[in-house]
Amino acid sequence: MKKKLKCLSNFFLVAFFILFLCLQCNCEDESMEAPMEKWEQEALYSAIQGFVGKWWNGSDLYPDPCGWTPIQGVSCDLIDGLWHVTELRIGPIHDNSLKCAPNVVLTLYIFSLKHLKSLSFFNCFNSPFHQPFKIQTDMWEMLSGNLESLEFRSNSGLIGGIPETFGHLQKLQSLVLVENGLSGQLPTNLGNLVSLKRLVISGNKISGEIPSSFGGLKNLLILDLSRNALSGYLPYDLGGLHSLLKLDLSSNQLGGQIPEKMENLQNLTLLDMSNNRFSGGLTKSLQEMISLKELVLSNNPTGGDLKSIKWQNLIGLSILDLANMNLTGGIPDSISELKKLRFLGLNNNKLTGGISQKLAHLPNVSAIYLNGNNLTGELQFSEMFYGKMGRRFGAWNNSNLCYQVGFSSTKNVPFGVKPCGEEQVTIHETLINEKSHAITSLGCSTFGVEGLWFMVIVEIFIFELAFNL
Ligand SMILES: *[C@@H]1O[C@H](CO)[C@@H](O)[C@H](O)[C@H]1NC(C)=O
Ligand SMILES: *[C@@H]1O[C@H](CO)[C@@H](O)[C@H](O)[C@H]1NC(C)=O
Ligand SMILES: *[C@@H]1O[C@H](CO)[C@@H](O)[C@H](O)[C@H]1NC(C)=O
Ligand SMILES: *[C@@H]1O[C@H](CO)[C@@H](O)[C@H](O)[C@H]1NC(C)=O
Ligand SMILES: *[C@@H]1O[C@H](CO)[C@@H](O)[C@H](O)[C@H]1NC(C)=O
Ligand SMILES: *[C@@H]1O[C@H](CO)[C@@H](O)[C@H](O)[C@H]1NC(C)=O
């Protein structure tokens, strides 16, 4: 209410001022109107009407869209004395946002808004009752003079390919096509968009290879092609993206070796290549990406020796996830030098040897998973460490691993690991001992609500243990 009043008073103030001007210069009535060209105003109304439905009467509801009756999601700039629409956001972001009708249409009027810098569609093309929607391929050149940001997010009904013509949007700095139903291949000419800083095409059904032309995106900071169906090798030229900060290629079917050329990505802080088919061992390029904070390579048949990498180079790492990678060798001491580690996942590999006590001295670590390997010897962590970590210290499924007994309390012991010195006990006795031990030592009081479920798991585990032996 207050705002409205203020708005009105502002309006009157402006009106008086203009009246004053008119008296001075005897100008015409027309200067009372906002300086926006009629055709652009009409084009804006028609474009919006295409998205939100015929009921929406722009000239009635918003007679001055760049002035005193602003439309949520529409921004204007004053260019050479005229108002032009520079930003259009369609989709339910705020209560009063422009929401798409079920029978949404992308009218050609939108392409006459040549001053658009930013265009986004969120949760718009997703009606399950109407035919799926394809992004049209022509006309996009018309926006190439100014468009810097183009975004289609969460439009499940948006299908078909990424238009080749996006490659003509020379000014584009951000292209975001997230969680749509897009398919087909990545257009090669997206590699022409040399101003791009952000290219995010995750959560679609894009297939084929990553074009080597992407290596020409020299200003790229974020490249995210995760959760698609991309296959083939990584292009050699990808190592030329020197300024890259984040590279996410997870959950595709990419294969081949992790390229040596990636050693050039000196500013990279996140590398996620998990859930792919990368093979051929751990390449030395990994130890050269010295800015890495998060390295996630889990669920790849990579293979190789964990000790072959100088982990101490990656002193900034806080997340290191190398689970299920068919890795061999021992756990190198250099990993205990990564003082910023919060998460360490080395589970489900073929690692051998002992587990260094030094891992307990990582100051901020909250999870260490070493389960499902062939690690051996005695676990020598403190009772306090086991207590603090609970099941976030995973050492189970290492059949030749045991923990040292002799704690003051039997509560805090590593889950799924047998106490040392019980190897000679017969299978039947192990079963009974383990079972009673598990129940007394890891009862409900320690684990709260989880306790009961936990005991069931322990029982299953022991059952398996007994029959695997
Ligand atoms: C919008 O409303 C105005 C006046 O209320 C009317 O003259 C015009 O025909 C309407 N336009 C549409 C497209 O309904
Ligand atoms: C890497 O980051 C530094 C610091 O932010 C910056 O000065 C440098 O230009 C970046 N390197 C590249 C190749 O972008
Ligand atoms: C794991 O590595 C071994 C060689 O160490 C290889 O023979 C085997 O095929 C690999 N397994 C997978 C699933 O790639
Ligand atoms: C541990 O975490 C705290 C709080 O987030 C942070 O201030 C500190 O620098 C961290 N220590 C290391 C070695 O990263
Ligand atoms: C685990 O290592 C031992 C030697 O330490 C070896 O005898 C055994 O075959 C290995 N088990 C598996 C499953 O690789
Ligand atoms: C141990 O490994 C077996 C198969 O190797 C798996 O079925 C079981 O779930 C694992 N146990 C735990 C507690 O992860």
Q: Which atom of ligand 3 is nearest to the CA of 328?
A: 5
For residue 185, CA distances in Å to 161, 182, 208, 341, 390 come to 7, 9, 5, 37, 46
The pLDDT value given to residue 398: 96
Atom of ligand 4 nearest to the CA of 339: 13
Identity of residue 133: F
Considering only CA atoms, which residue is closest to atom 9 of ligand 4? Answer: 340
State the distance from the centre of ligand 5 to the C-alpha of 395, rounded, in angstroms.
Answer: 16
**Nearest-angstrom CA–CA distance, 74 and 67:** 11
Identity of the amino acid at 109: Y
Kindly report the number of other CB atoms within 10 A of residue 174's CB atom: 19
Q: Among 213, 92, 237, which residue's Cα sits nearest to residue 164?
A: 213
Quick check: 461 and 396 in contact, CB under 8 A?
yes
Ligand 1 atom 12: residue of nearest CA: 57
Written as one string, the DSSP assignment of 387-454 is: HHHGGGEE--S-TEEEE----S-SS---TT-EETT-TTS-HHHHHHHHHHHHHHHS-HHHHTTHHHHH
Cβ atoms of residues 206 and 229 within 8 Å: yes
Is there an atom of ligand 6 within 6 Å of 396 CB? yes
Half-sphere exposure of 128 (CA within 13 A, CB side): 0
The pair phi, psi for residue 14, each rounded to 5°, is -65, -45
Q: Does ligand 6 come within 6 angstroms of the Cβ of 416?
A: yes
326 within ligand 3 shell (Cβ under 6 A): yes
What residues pair up with 433 in beta bridges, in sequence order?
A: none
CA of 225 to the centre of ligand 3 (A): 27
Closest ligand, as measured to the CA of 374? 5
Contact 193, 216 (CB under 8 A): no
Neighbours of 79 (CB within 10 A): 11
pLDDT tens sequence for the chain (469 residues): 344 444 444 544 444 444 444 444 434 334 445 589 999 999 999 999 999 989 999 999 999 999 989 999 999 999 988 999 999 999 988 888 888 888 888 889 999 999 999 999 999 988 666 678 889 889 999 999 999 999 999 999 999 999 999 999 999 999 999 999 999 999 999 999 999 999 999 999 999 999 999 999 999 999 999 999 999 999 999 999 999 999 999 999 999 999 999 999 999 999 999 999 999 999 999 999 999 999 999 999 999 999 999 999 999 999 999 999 999 999 999 999 999 999 999 999 999 999 999 999 999 999 999 999 999 999 989 989 999 999 999 999 999 999 987 766 667 889 999 998 865 333 343 343 333 333 333 332 333 333 334 333 444 444 444 444 3
What is residue 142's three-state secondary structure?
helix
Euclidean distance between CA atoms 268 and 291, whole angstroms: 6
Pocket probe mutation, ligand 6, options 464, 465, 469, max atoms within 8 Å of Cβ: 464
DSSP tag of 178: E
Atom of ligand 3 nearest to the CA of 326: 1
Taking a C-beta distance cutoff of 8 angstroms, is the pair 224, 245 a contact? no
- By CB neighbour count within 10 A (0-12 exposed, 13-18 middle, 19+ buried), where does 360 fall? buried
CA of 9 to the centre of ligand 6 (A): 72
Give the Å distance between the CA of 188 and the centre of ligand 4. Answer: 43
pLDDT of residue 12: 46
pLDDT score recorded for residue 303: 97
CB proximity list for 318: less than 8 A, separation 6 or greater: 293, 294, 340, 341, 342, 343, 364
In one-letter notation, the amino acid at residue 81 is: G
Residue nearest to atom 4 of ligand 3 (CA): 303
Residue 102 is predicted with a pLDDT of 83
The answer to whether 328 touches 351, Cβ cutoff 8 Å, is: yes
443 lines ligand 3 (CB under 6 A): no
Is there an atom of ligand 5 within 6 Å of 374 CB?
A: yes
Please give the pLDDT value at position 412.
84
Question: Per DSSP, what are the bridge partners of residue 270?
Answer: 246, 294
Looking at the CA of 63, name the nearest ligand: 1
CB atoms within 10 A of CB 149: 19
301 lines ligand 3 (CB under 6 A): yes
